[in-house]
Chains A and B, each alone.
Chain A
Amino acid sequence: MTTSHNGLPPTRRLILKGAGSVALAGLGIVSFRPLAASAANDTYPEDAFRQREANEAIKLLYGRTAEPSDKVKLDAPEIAENGAVVPISVATTLTDVTSVSFLVPENPNVLAAYYKIPPGSMPNVANRLKMARTSNVIVIVEAGGKLYSATKEVKVTVGGCGG
């Protein structure tokens, strides 16, 4: 169940993160950015959303690997008209779908979105994602306890993460 959160995430973690950024900045690592804290409930896969490697994100999210399947149809443009708003969707004929996720390996955080599909809801999802630069887009469909994926390269000329 969703617990209501008007409070902030645990202060202790925030302070530790802050300390980390100061320390790293001191080492001359200029590109460190404060990690986004989660205010959503405990089922929000916060760690998975922080991963910079697709395999790590998938492992954290699912604990297993995906196999490519032609039953998963990924719709994404050849060349994104603008990396800030790339319309991407998935359709599949697989049954017993319980979740769908989208990953963009070349993004700073690889996992873009994770959709939970309760029984009675369809596995087709459309969304609009940011892409920092030309990258594969990976969609993973969890069906009957197994993972199926499809991948497509989307070229990005104007990046969605500030250039």
Chain B
Amino acid sequence: MDFCFARSRIHLALAVLAALALCALHPASAADKPDPVADAKAFRNYFVNKFPNVKLEDFVNGPYALNEDMRRQWEQKEQFPPYEFSLEMGKELFAKPFKNGRHYADCFPNQGIGIRQDFPYFDTREGRVVTLELALNRCREANGEPPLSYVDDEMAALTAYMAFTSRGKPFAIKVPDDPRALEAYQNGKRYFYARRGQLNFSCATCHVQNPGERMRAEVLAPALGILNAMPIYRSEWGGMGTISRRLTTCNSQIRGVPLDPQDEEYRDLEYYLSYVSNGLSISGPGARP
């Protein structure tokens, strides 16, 4: 524990100040320091206990894990899924060389195949969370190409293809024991639980407190595994949409002001939410209502 004590009254103030400074530099107590491992365990246990009849691996299927009538519709559509064309486009886009002759494959480990489950990661060199969408645009910019919109079809198709190559692989997000990484993780967690917007909802309001329930016409997905199916082809959109698109539209739907796609808060949120779903398989791209 701390050793914050003064020796004499004369130096008391100084000592206290020094001690406080020292205390601040000490690793925080167990109650203060983020503990992703404990968080993930508690997060998972909450959902497993709330839905004892749902298999753990099924949480990645969102509302379909919780509603039988919806599940049947989904299974029927999955026989020949609506996102086939987006997936094909993604594969073509991924293979297409940049003007300088290089490829997306050159920017990623294993040529970009089967690596989606490692995103987001904390870039210790830069001190920030790097998501798959961000990494793709960085790859483009590093090769002289203009960045893609984070909310349009091309980015959705690319991430759909990359997710598809990782189907079945468990989320393997790392939060290194680096205060900056822990801060980003904690920031994401804070965002998740903070209320916002006219409706004063947090992400947790819908996805932790009310999964399986209806909010207007939608059946809410559980937060556990919610990013595993991304990007998603939504019937509502008539097309494939990225994580960025979903986060910004979620914000709008609770009548809050959306942040810019790939804003630091969104990236930290994605970091947190992916981490607590570690061990659950990538199921993307997913089809949703």
Name A's B-contacting residues (CB within 8 A): 77-82, 84-87, 89, 126, 128, 157-158
Contact = CB atoms under 8 A, between A and B. Distances in A.
Interface string B76-87: 110000100000
Interface residues of B, number: 16
Contact of A84 (B63, B74, B216, B235): B235
A78 B72 CA distance: 10
B219 to A, nearest CB: 8
B236 interface: yes
A82 B72 contact: no
A78 B74 CA distance: 13
Closest 3 interchain pairs by CB? Answer: A157-B217, A82-B235, A81-B289
B69 A158 contact: no
B217 A87 contact: no
B217 A126 contact: no
A87 B77 CA distance: 7
A77 B72 CA distance: 8
Contacts of B72: 77
A81 B76 contact: no
B77 A84 contact: no
B73 interface: yes
24 contacts: A77-B69, A77-B70, A79-B69, A81-B63, A81-B70, A81-B73, A81-B74, A81-B219, A81-B235, A81-B289, A84-B235, A84-B238, A85-B82, A85-B235, A86-B73, A87-B73, A87-B76, A87-B77, A89-B76, A128-B77, A157-B216, A157-B217, A158-B217, A158-B289
Contacts of A157: 216-217
Nearest to B70: A81
Contacts of B63: 81
Nearest to A156: B217
Nearest to B69: A78
B76 A82 contact: no
B73 A77 contact: yes
A147 B73 CA distance: 28
A84 B236 contact: yes
A84 B235 CA distance: 7
Given A77-B73, A87-B73, A128-B77, A82 B236 contact: yes
A82 B289 contact: yes
Contacts of B217: 157-158
A6 B82 CA distance: 29
Interface in B37-76: 63, 69-70, 72-74, 76
Contacts of A80: 73
A112 to B, nearest CB: 17
A89 B80 CA distance: 14
Interface string B21-33: 0000000000000
Nearest to B236: A82
Contacts of B73: 77, 80-81, 86-87
Contacts of B289: 81-82, 158
Contacts of B235: 81-82, 84-85
Given A79-B69, A81-B70, A82-B289, A126 B236 contact: no
A78 B70 CA distance: 9
A81 B69 CA distance: 9
